[in-house]
């Protein structure tokens, strides 16, 4: 499928997906969301160990959902639009491989929501974050009320959502919304450096760790530890575990084949 709003490139085990609608600061419209769902459902994760997500240009990651499209929606259309976005972001969150958001500018509304669906968020010092939907007469509709509270706690999430306040990258770092902040020209090199560090590790182990963290979050302790122990044990059936531990004992660098 040829995409209008997506660009994808893969180098080695690291893929980079760019959301590209620069005329609207990469705003999320129905077509872009549909393309994202198609891309994620057809992505070959067998040859992939890390996915980087970023926005086209140096001004915006994703400025939000497309207000020019939403302005004319009725209740039924609004439901389907919000549901499509939430589904797409769950697909992103549920990818078996780690995902890193490289936030290169405005990260508002739907942009903040798609960033939160990624495992790790690195931001440019020029990035700005917020859920300003209440100023438009709506609420976050692409899972923002759920994920923001999970990431930064209910109190801070309520403050940002109720006020619609936009915050700078340093405050986003302080409250735990992003993992790190870099100068604009350092952002992608730092993201790529992290991606390379992740990609060199045993991919089955990394995927199992992601599955544990994502699924454990809503489990009680007994179920969470049972899941962790099962996935821990599964690692011992892999060649990667044998190679990794043998290399460690020999004081050599391990090479993992994902088997």
Catalytic residue among 69, 77, 113, 239: 113
Sequence-ordered strand ranges (E) for the chain = 6-11, 14-19, 50-55, 60-62, 99-103, 106-108, 120-124, 128-130, 166-168, 180-182
Q: How far apart are CA 13 and CA 42, in angstroms?
A: 17
Tokens coding 34: 């549909």
133 is annotated as an active-site residue: yes
Residue 206 CB contacts under 8 Å (≥ 6 apart), including other chains: 49, 97, 98, 198
Burial of 226-257, coded b for 16+ CB within 10 Å and e otherwise, reads: ebbeebeeeeeebebbebbeeeeeeeeebebe
Q: How far apart are CA 178 and CA 101, in angstroms?
A: 9
Q: 183 in helix, strand or coil? A: coil
Assess contact for 8 and 17: CB atoms under 8 A: yes
Catalytic residue among 69, 93, 133, 159: 133
75 is annotated as an active-site residue: no
Q: How far apart are CA 86 and CA 141, in angstroms?
A: 7
CA distances from 39 to 8, 44, 45, 211 (A): 9, 10, 11, 21
Q: How far apart are CA 163 and CA 133, in angstroms?
A: 9
Positions annotated as catalytic residues are: 113, 133
């Amino acid at each position: 499928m040829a995409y209008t709003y997506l660009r994808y490139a893969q180098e080695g085990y690291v893929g980079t997906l760019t959301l590209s609608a620069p005329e609207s600061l990469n705003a999320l419209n129905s077509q872009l969301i549909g393309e994202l769902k198609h891309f994620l459902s057809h992505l070959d994760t067998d040859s992939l160990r890390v996915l980087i997500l970023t926005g086209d240009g140096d001004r915006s990651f994703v400025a939000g959902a497309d207000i020019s499209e939403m302005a004319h929606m009725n209740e039924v259309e609004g439901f389907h639009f919000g549901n499509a976005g939430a589904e797409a972001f769950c697909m992103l969150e549920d990818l078996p491989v780690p995902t890193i958001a490289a936030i290169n500018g405005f990260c508002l509304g739907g942009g903040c929501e798609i960033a939160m669906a990624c495992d790790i968020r690195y931001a440019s010092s020029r990035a700005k974050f917020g859920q300003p939907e209440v100023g438009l007469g709506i609420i976050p509709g692409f899972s923002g009320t759920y994920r923001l509270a999970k990431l930064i706690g209910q109190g801070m999430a309520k403050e940002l959502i109720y006020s619609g306040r936009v915050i700078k990258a340093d405050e986003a770092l302080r409250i735990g919304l992003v993992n790190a902040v870099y100068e604009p020209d350092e952002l992608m090199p730092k993201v790529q450096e992290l991606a390379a560090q992740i990609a060199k590790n045993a991919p089955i182990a990394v995927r199992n760790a992601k599955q544990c963290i994502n699924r454990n979050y809503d489990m009680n302790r007994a179920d969470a530890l049972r899941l962790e122990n099962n996935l821990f044990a599964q690692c011992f059936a892999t060649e990667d575990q044998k190679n990794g531990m043998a290399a460690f004992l020999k004081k050599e660098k391990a090479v993992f084949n994902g088997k």
